[in-house]
């Protein structure tokens, strides 16, 4: 089947648009900071990461208010409750300790490790 000049132009434009859309979607994704990034970061970078994360949690808490509709509820109250017992430097130290004691965690996102190992650690088996 011959496409002709108009068909080829349309095909080219469709492919170009698809490529641009994919590139834009990839550019809009947040980077995933893993334990490997964490252990290679400076102490100041680690503290800045935690300060940024907790600032976003606080902002979301303020925007949500006290009684968000059920379809807008998030993990923010759990983050606030679990992390409020720590100072920022203590969160950094707790993550440092997890990555030092469990090197296999370096492949995981820092936020996942923070949730499961610091904010809501499983009780130690006896």
Residue 95 has what pLDDT? 98
Percent over 70 (pLDDT), the chain: 77
Residue 51 near residue 88, CB atoms below 8 Å: yes
Q: Is the pLDDT of residue 21 over 70?
A: no
Across 28-54, average pLDDT = 95
Choice between 113 and 74, residue whose per-residue pLDDT is larger = 113
Q: Is the pLDDT of residue 28 over 90?
A: no
Nearest to 120 by CA among 81, 69, 66: 81
Instruction: Sketch the domain layout of the chain as residue ranges.
Output: 1-30, 35-119
Question: Considering the chain, what is the average pLDDT of its residues?
Answer: 86
Residue 101 near residue 78, CB atoms below 8 Å: no
Q: Is the pLDDT of residue 23 over 70?
A: no
pLDDT band at 27; cut points 50, 70, 90: low
**Residue 26 to residue 18: CA distance in whole angstroms:** 12
First to last CA, the chain: 72
The 10s digit of each residue's pLDDT in 50-84 is 999 999 999 998 988 888 888 888 899 999 999 99
């Amino acid at each position: 089947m011959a496409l002709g000049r108009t068909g080829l132009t349309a095909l080219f434009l469709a492919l170009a648009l698809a490529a641009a859309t994919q590139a834009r979607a990839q550019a809009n994704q947040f980077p995933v900071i893993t334990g490997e990034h964490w252990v290679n970061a400076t102490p100041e970078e680690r503290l800045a990461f935690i300060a940024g994360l907790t600032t976003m949690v606080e902002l979301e808490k303020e925007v949500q208010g006290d009684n968000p509709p059920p379809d807008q509820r998030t993990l923010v109250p759990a983050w606030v409750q679990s992390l409020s017992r720590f100072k920022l430097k203590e969160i950094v130290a707790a993550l440092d300790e997890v990555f030092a004691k469990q090197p296999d965690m370096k492949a995981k996102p820092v936020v996942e490790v923070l949730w499961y190992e610091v904010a809501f650690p499983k009780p130690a088996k006896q």
